[in-house]
Amino acid sequence: MESPEAEPLPGTAEATGPRVVRCRLCGRPLTGTESRRTGLGPTCDARLHPASPDIRHRRHEVEQDVLPGT
């Protein structure tokens, strides 16, 4: 005879599996731990919080005249 604790109760987390967390912006199910914590998928998070531009990409090289005496 099995113990009554062998089968999970209906409606509990053990019976239905892990809780589905959906993206707050698009509604897709989230799978990553960081995404589940923030509530945003990587694509939607990138839309709301764009990466700051790297200063190296904004600079451009300018040709300079050679200094006299070098």
Would you say 44 and 35 are in contact if contact means Cβ atoms under 8 Å apart?
A: no
Give the other-Cβ count within 10 Å of 33's Cβ: 8
**The pair of three-digit structure tokens given for residue 35, joined into one six-digit string:** 């995404």
Q: What is the pLDDT of residue 16?
A: 63
Q: What is the pLDDT of residue 56?
A: 61
Q: What is the pLDDT of residue 38?
A: 92
Q: What is the pLDDT of residue 10?
A: 58
pTM above 0.85, yes or no: no
Low-confidence ranges of the chain (pLDDT < 70): 1-17, 54-60, 70
